[in-house]
Chain A
Amino acid sequence: MISGTPGSGKTTLARLFQYRTVKTLLNHIDLASYRDVAAALADCGMLRDGVPATLTCRIPLTGEYRDFWEFPYPEEIRTRLLESMLQARACLAWVQNLRAAGHSSQDVTIVARSDAEAAALSIGVDSIDNLYEKARRVELAIYEISAALLPPAIDRLPTVVKAPYRPFDVIEKFEVDLGDFVSELRPLVVFDDAHELHVAQFDCLKSWLVRRELRVGRWIMTRLDALSPEQVLYGVPSRALEDLMRVQTKRDITEIRFQSNQKRSVDRKRFQKMARDMSNRYISMMPAFDQRGIAELASILANDSPKLPSGQIASLRDLVRRDCMRFGISEHRREQIKQLVSNYVKGTTDRDVGEDVQIAMERILLHRYANRVRPGDLFSNNREDIEPNKPLKCDSGVAHGAQIHLMHKFRRPYYWGMSTLCDSGSNNAELFLQIAERLVEQAEIKIVRNRTVSLSSREQHQLLRGRGTEILKSWSFPECENVRTLIKLISSHCLNETLKDNAPLGAGANAYGILQSEFDELPQKHERLAQVLQFGIAYNAIQLAPNHKTKRKLWCLVELGGASILHYGLPFYRGGFIEGSVGELSDVLARRGA
Chain B
Amino acid sequence: MRWINCPSHQGENVKDLLREHFEDSDRRVLLLGGAGFDPRAPFFPLELHKLLGNRLRALLLKEERPETTPDLISRADTIRAALTSELKDLVVVPIDILSPDLSVVGGRSAVTRVDQELSSGWTDIVIDVSALSSGISFPIIRCVLEWADQNPQHRQMHVVLAENSIVDSSVSAMPLDKSKEIYGFKGKYGLESTSESARLWLPQLAFDQRDALNRIYDEIRPHDVCPILPFPSRDPRAGDRLLEHFTDEILNTWQVAPRNVIFAAEGNPLDLYRTVLRIDDERTVVFQEAGGSQLLLTPTGSKALALGAVMAAIERDLPVRYVESIAYRVDWDLIEQAPESEVNLLHLWLAGEPYSSGRGANTG
Contact = CB atoms under 8 A, between A and B. Distances in A.
B102 interface: yes
A572 B104 CA distance: 38
Contact of A63 (B67, B175, B178): B178
A136 B146 contact: no
Contacts of A92: 192
A199 B105 CA distance: 15
Given A63-B104, A140-B193, A149-B146, A476 B139 contact: no
A147 interface: yes
Given A64-B190, A149-B142, A149-B146, A476 B177 contact: yes
B184 A136 contact: no
B103 A198 contact: yes
A379 interface: no
A146 B193 CA distance: 16
A481 B115 CA distance: 36
A474 interface: yes
Nearest to B66: A478
A66 B111 contact: no
Contact of B101 (A64, A148, A198): A198
Interface in A140-162: 140, 143, 146-150
Contacts of A146: 186
A140 B67 contact: no
Nearest to A195: B101
B192 A139 contact: yes
Contact of B191 (A143, A199, A478): A143
Interface in B92-134: 99, 101-105, 108, 111-112, 115
Nearest to B329: A481
A478 B104 CA distance: 13
A477 B184 CA distance: 25
B193 A70 contact: no
A70 B186 contact: no
Category for how many chain A residues contact B: 20 to 34
B180 A62 contact: yes
A586 B178 CA distance: 28
A578 B101 CA distance: 33
Nearest to A88: B192
A146 to B, nearest CB: 7
Interface string A335-361: 000000000000000000000000000
A73 to B, nearest CB: 13
A476 to B, nearest CB: 5
A232 to B, nearest CB: 15
B258 interface: no
A379 B285 CA distance: 94
B180 A476 contact: no
Nearest to B178: A63
A146 B184 CA distance: 9
B281 interface: no
Contacts of B142: 149
B69 interface: yes
Interface string A77-114: 00000000000000010001000000000000000000
A481 B146 contact: no
B326 interface: yes
Given A140-B193, A150-B111, A476-B211, A64 B180 contact: yes
Contacts of B101: 198-199
A593 B72 CA distance: 14
Contacts of B195: 96
A343 B240 CA distance: 63
A474 B212 CA distance: 11
Nearest to A479: B67
A477 B211 CA distance: 12
B242 interface: no
Interface in A471-509: 474, 476-478, 481
A198 B98 CA distance: 12
A96 B196 CA distance: 11
Contacts, number: 67
Contacts of B108: 67, 70
Contacts of A474: 211
B281 to A, nearest CB: 23
B182 to A, nearest CB: 11
A63 B103 CA distance: 8
Contacts of A140: 191-193
B217 to A, nearest CB: 15
Nearest to B191: A143
Contacts of B103: 63, 66-67, 69-70, 198
Contacts of B191: 139-140, 143
Of the candidates A148, A150, A474, the one having the most CB atoms from chain B within 10 angstroms of its own CB is: A150
A356 B103 CA distance: 55
A476 B329 CA distance: 14
Contacts of A476: 174-177, 211
Interface string B186-215: 101011110100000000000000010000
Given A198-B101, A593-B70, A63 B180 contact: yes
Category for how many chain B residues contact A: 20 to 34
A481 B211 contact: no
A257 to B, nearest CB: 21
Nearest to A89: B192
A149 B184 contact: yes
B326 A478 contact: yes
Nearest to B185: A147
A136 B191 CA distance: 9
Of the candidates A63, A146, A477, the one having the most CB atoms from chain B within 10 angstroms of its own CB is: A63
A478 B102 contact: yes
Interface string A362-403: 000000000000000000000000000000000000000000
Nearest to A151: B108
Of the candidates A67, A148, A481, the one having the most CB atoms from chain B within 10 angstroms of its own CB is: A67
Nearest to A150: B115
Interface in B131-161: 139, 142-143, 146
A70 B105 CA distance: 8
Nearest to B195: A96
A481 B180 contact: no
Contacts of A63: 103-104, 178, 180
Nearest to A132: B192
A438 B101 CA distance: 34
Nearest to A481: B67
Of the candidates B108, B112, B175, the one having the most CB atoms from chain A within 10 angstroms of its own CB is: B108
A478 B177 contact: yes
B18 to A, nearest CB: 27
B85 to A, nearest CB: 30
A360 B111 CA distance: 67
A139 B176 CA distance: 28
Contacts of A150: 111-112, 115, 143
B187 to A, nearest CB: 8
A167 to B, nearest CB: 15
Of the candidates A139, A140, A147, A149, the one having the most CB atoms from chain B within 10 angstroms of its own CB is: A149
Of the candidates B67, B99, B104, the one having the most CB atoms from chain A within 10 angstroms of its own CB is: B67
Interface string B72-104: 000000000000000000000000000101111
Contacts of A96: 195
B149 to A, nearest CB: 13
B66 to A, nearest CB: 8
A143 to B, nearest CB: 6
Interface of A: 62-64, 66-67, 69-70, 92, 96, 135-136, 139-140, 143, 146-150, 196, 198-199, 474, 476-478, 481, 593
20 contacts: A63-B103, A63-B178, A67-B103, A92-B192, A135-B192, A136-B193, A140-B192, A146-B186, A147-B186, A149-B111, A149-B142, A149-B143, A150-B111, A150-B143, A196-B178, A198-B103, A199-B101, A476-B175, A476-B177, A593-B69
Closest 10 CB pairs of A and B: A147-B186, A63-B180, A477-B177, A149-B184, A66-B103, A92-B192, A478-B102, A136-B192, A476-B175, A149-B143
Given A67-B103, A150-B112, A476-B211, 5 more contacts: A140-B193, A150-B115, A196-B178, A198-B99, A476-B174
